[in-house]
A and B are shown apart, each in its own frame.
Chain A
Amino acid sequence: MLARQRVRAAWLFLLPTLVVLAGVAGWPLLRTFWFAFTNVSFAANEPPEFVGLENFVVVMEDESWWRSVRNTFLFTGVSVTLETVLGMIIALTLNSRFRGRGVLRAAVLVPWAIPTVVSAKMWGWMFNDQYGVINEMFLYVGLISEPIAWTVDPDLSMAAIIAVDVWKTTPFMTLLLLAALQMLPDELYEAARLDGAHPVLVFFRITLPLIRGPMLVAIIFRVLDALRVFDLFYVLTSNSAESMSMAVYARQQMFEFQDLGPGAAAATLLFALIALFTIIYMVLGRDAVIQEAA
């Protein structure tokens, strides 16, 4: 009797949240899918007609789309790899006891808290071709002989974008990896130390296998985030056709070219890609996810 009442209470408690989520997530998503198959326009007054896969064909035949796909994957691959390696180095550093550890741990949180747009602007100024401090440093050290236009050249702007992302997101990776490292029992290391094993060997033989699970989950988490990147590309590259991410391409189609159909088709393709990775994430972290959810 009481149990039945509790179940009813549970659904009542959940109702407002579920209604809001249906409104801001479910409905708009379904509308986007629908737009992707119609010749819709926000300006026109006549009702949209179903056009089948036409919009997807338009997107697939667009060279800019494929460039944006390539950019997004390149960005994701390189920046997540760098973030993992750097995050690991910083996490291992923070995991050992030294003076000023608290200060460093606070310092690595700073980039995480700064809005992405602001990070992009700060770095954009540092990368400025005429007055940027980065060119100045490189000239001083002799790495380059004349100032470089970082944010204009598509290849260089990719490097610049990755640099900002690595700076901004490594802290998050560091925290996740540090949490994993701090769960490892000390006895293991005690034994390794008594055997006189080299620290590098200890890392690859003991530490890495033990934190592989949490590390993979963190990596997938970051991949999901990187695939939908928008702000960094939008702010840093002044929207040039060569350097767009998939999200920037889709938004440009929808709101700047008023091609809602193809834009929605591009957004749908990006959604499908991220859904695929989300499923991988849930399967990989299955035990953890189910444990949390059950």
Chain B
Amino acid sequence: MSPALGWLKRIAFGVLVTVITFYTLFPFYWAVVSSLKEGSALFQVEWWPKKPAWHNYVAVFTEQPFGRNLLNSVLVASSVVIVSLFLAITAAFALARIRFRGRTPLMLMILGVSMFPQIAVLSGMFELIRALGLYNKLPGLTLSYMLFTLPFTVWVLTTFMRELPKELEEAAVVDGATPWVVCMHVFLPLLRPALVTTGLLAFIAAWNEFIFALTFTMDQESRTVPVAIALMSGASQFESPWGLIMAASVIVTVPLIVLVLIFQRSIVSGLMAGAVKG
């Protein structure tokens, strides 16, 4: 291969990488730029804000109950993580370490539930939530989110629990440990990375959920962030407060990006464990 051809190849590859990076990051960059523009500046295309203004970031908290919406999202997502991990740890232990009849069908059923379209349970769930007196309340969302976080956490934790060495368990059993002791005192400390990964993925799923949050809440104060952003309206029906929406979008996205960058490796491994590898 001639050196010129080598250079050409290298340049082409560089262009490809640049294009991929640009396509991936530009929408987010544009949201940041737009959120820093005030008044009429928003309606002129400038590639960076000449006079960055924080007005939108202040207004989103003063003109909208956005602080409350953020708190709602944090509360719902955290409670979803706690409850689903709490339930999934023992379930995953049983599925990963104990042989019993009906285990495989059970695993397949759990996998099947994780594929449920939310719309298929929407009306039944609405009825259930109203009957429990949870309509327009945060616990109603926590409960309904179990539909997609629980199967997922059980499945992923089961794959992690399988990897643990048999000898550990056997030694503990010889010492007279019950399954409960093995699960809670021998395995749990070793599972910390797995719990962080699964918890994080469950948190992101709950943080981003839309259709249940839209259907099971009524007033602005009980909305979670995605619903608040989707339904944010201006002074009149015909103007969309784009500056506010972009500011809210950036506020919601930055913590997620930070989390993803910190836990990059574990997120990828968790996603891999969640999607069945062929």
Contact = CB atoms under 8 A, between A and B. Distances in A.
A208 interface: no
A113 B257 CA distance: 7
Interface in B225-278: 225-227, 229-230, 242, 245-246, 249, 252-253, 256-257, 259-261, 264, 267-268, 271-272, 275-278
Given A9-B94, A24-B147, A216-B278, A122 B260 contact: no
Given A6-B100, A270-B120, 17 more contacts: A11-B94, A14-B90, A24-B150, A25-B147, A42-B130, A93-B16, A98-B17, A110-B24, A111-B28, A118-B252, A119-B27, A121-B245, A125-B34, A213-B278, A231-B210, A246-B119, A274-B117
Nearest to B267: A109
Contacts of B27: 111, 119, 122-123, 126, 167
* Chain A interface, >50% SS class: helix
Contact of A118 (B94, B124, B144, B253): B253
A232 to B, nearest CB: 10
B171 interface: no
Interface stretch (B58-66, B176-184, B186-194): B176-184
B276 A217 contact: yes
* Chain B interface, >50% SS class: helix
B126 to A, nearest CB: 8
Interface string B11-28: 001001100110111011
B246 A125 contact: yes
24 contacts: A17-B154, A24-B144, A28-B121, A32-B122, A103-B21, A110-B260, A113-B204, A115-B225, A115-B253, A117-B226, A128-B242, A130-B43, A136-B45, A167-B27, A175-B271, A180-B278, A214-B277, A217-B275, A227-B117, A230-B119, A255-B126, A274-B120, A290-B104, A294-B107
Contacts of A274: 115-117, 120
B260 A29 contact: no
B124 A27 contact: yes
Contact of B261 (A106, A119, A263): A106
Contact of B123 (A32, A281, A293): A32
Nearest to A92: B16
A86 to B, nearest CB: 9
Contacts of A109: 260-261, 264, 267-268
Residue of A105, A130, A179, A218 contacting most chain B CB atoms (<10 Å) = A179
Interface string A208-228: 000001111110010010011
A123 B16 CA distance: 23
Given A23-B128, A29-B121, A179-B272, A6 B229 contact: no
B76 interface: no
A216 to B, nearest CB: 7
Interface string B35-56: 0000000110100000000000
A28 B60 CA distance: 36
Nearest to B93: A13
Contacts of B272: 175-176, 179
B278 to A, nearest CB: 4
A14 B30 contact: no
A17 B150 contact: yes
Nearest to B113: A25
Contacts of B183: 13
Interface string B181-222: 001000000000000000000001001101100110000000
Interface of A: 2, 6-7, 9-11, 13-14, 16-18, 20-21, 23-25, 27-32, 35, 42, 89-90, 93, 98, 100, 103-123, 125-126, 128, 130-131, 133, 136, 167, 171-172, 175-176, 179-180, 213-218, 221, 224, 227-228, 230-231, 234-235, 246-247, 250-251, 254-255, 260, 263-264, 267-268, 270-271, 274, 278, 281-282, 285, 288-290, 292-294
Contacts of B159: 292
A100 B17 contact: yes
B79 interface: no
A107 B123 contact: no
Interface in B92-121: 93-95, 98, 100, 103-104, 106-108, 110-113, 115-121
A274 B25 CA distance: 32
Nearest to B255: A113
A14 B230 contact: no
Contacts of B119: 228, 230, 246-247, 250-251, 267, 270-271
Nearest to B143: A24
A14 B123 contact: no
B211 A31 contact: no
B74 interface: no
Q: Which 8 pairs of residues, A with B, have the shortest CB-CB distance? A: A28-B124, A31-B124, A293-B107, A214-B278, A228-B117, A271-B120, A213-B278, A115-B208
B172 interface: no
B121 A107 contact: no
B146 interface: yes
